[in-house]
Structure 1
Amino acid sequence: MKLYKTLTILFCCLSIMCISTGCERDDICAEDTPTTPLLIIKFIDDETGADIKQPNELQVSAIGFLNIIDYETNQDSIMIPLRTRGLLTNFQFTIDSDTTDDEVVPNIDEVSFQYTPVEEYVSSACGFKVNYNGLTASFENEEDGGNWIKRITIEEDNITDETAAHVLIFH
């Protein structure tokens, strides 16, 4: 009987040890773990060069994808995803996209963002995240002045977090 009691206690202790050491902290990816950052774009008034200017009825869509990001409320900055498998992402930025005034025509500008994606290991639970190095931007500037985007400035060419604007679009 003593042997049975000793074996039961030993079995319980071993079971508790196995359960408590079987799960590691890295098995669950915490919500605050940094993931692949989004590109933050801030819109600036081209005339003043410093004042925030919200684009009217802005829509953004990545060329080659069906999803359109529709900003129903005017915002001074937006966050958009870049492709993780490739060296560039092309977007269409449309203002006056949903106007009820027949005389106002939507104005579409295409912007290309070029970069080098770099994978970074986060943990066994979270896997990898992608940072973007060497960000550049280009757009076709029409000679007749039809662009609503006047110029683009890169504020941060290495995108590793979402703490500040990476790109300024002047309009």
Structure 2
Amino acid sequence: MKNLSIKFLAASFSLLSLMGCQKDDICPESTQTTPLLVLRFYDAQERDNAQAPINLSVREINNDTTWLYRVNRDSIVIPLRTDADQTQYEFILNDQESDTIPDQSIETNTDLLTFSYAREQEYINRACSFKINYLDLKLQVDGEEDGEWIQDIFIEQTEVTDEASAHISLYY
């Protein structure tokens, strides 16, 4: 009988410890965390016509690493730094680094884009912790030595709190 009561106590303890787990111990994938910046490209002559740049490469300039993205779409999403109030990217048009035999008739053109913003932490919950929202978004474009290929910019939203629509329109 004593052995049966010990088993009953062990089973009861196990059941109570399983019931102690809370729903918010795991962050669901559907929970929105720190948003990415959404950029949309347009033809500069036909401003309503979304158009993908040709052989666009995007490189994040960081003190520690350089991230590379190859893009063939009219919209892209890129991360902004969560540990600084500024993020820099090189947007390289007609980048042929991936080609085995580069076409010498096509010139590459690099623009340096500097995104500046204020960061605001928002508490989500215990499992997901915090997310960063970006406020007062500004953009500076520098064509460097080869001139600017991005002709015009329009900041659609100065607050980056979600990825539902484009934050910045780039015309080339």
- TM-score by length of structure 1 reads 0.87
Aligned match of 2:129: 127
Distance across 2 between alignment mates of 1:156 and 1:92: 22
Equivalent residues of 2:37, 2:163 under 8 A apart: yes
Superposed, which structure 2 residues align to 1:151-170 within 5 Å?
151-170=152-171
Other structure's SS at 2:137 match:
strand
Worse-matched range after superposition: 10-19 or 105-114: 10-19
Aligned match of 2:139: 137
What letter corresponds to residue 29 of structure 1 in structure 2? C
User: Cα distance, 1:124 vs. partner?
Assistant: 1.6
User: Cα distance, 1:125 vs. partner?
Assistant: 1.6
Distance across 1 between alignment mates of 2:26 and 2:57: 36
Superposed, which structure 2 residues align to 1:1-171 within 5 Å?
1=1, 8-9=7-8, 11-21=10-20, 23-64=21-62, 65-71=65-71, 74-98=72-96, 100-140=102-142, 146-171=147-172
User: Cα distance, 1:29 vs. partner?
Assistant: 1.1
What letter corresponds to residue 30 of structure 2 in structure 1? D
Distance across 2 between alignment mates of 1:104 and 1:68: 21
The count of corresponding residues between Structure 1 and Structure 2 is: 166
What letter corresponds to residue 63 of structure 1 in structure 2? I
Equivalent residues of 2:109, 2:146 under 8 A apart: no
String of CA shifts for 1:118-162, please: whole Å, max 9, x gaps. 1111122212111101111111368x9932100111111110111
User: Cα distance, 1:93 vs. partner?
Assistant: 0.4
Distance across 1 between alignment mates of 2:22 and 2:133: 27
What letter corresponds to residue 170 of structure 1 in structure 2? Y
- Pair 1:149–1:14, CA change in 2 (3 A): same
Considering only aligned residues, what root-mean-square deviation do their CA atoms show, in Å?
2.2
Other structure's SS at 1:130 match:
strand
Question: How many percent of aligned residue pairs carry the same amino acid?
Answer: 35
- Pair 1:16–1:67, CA change in 2 (3 A): same
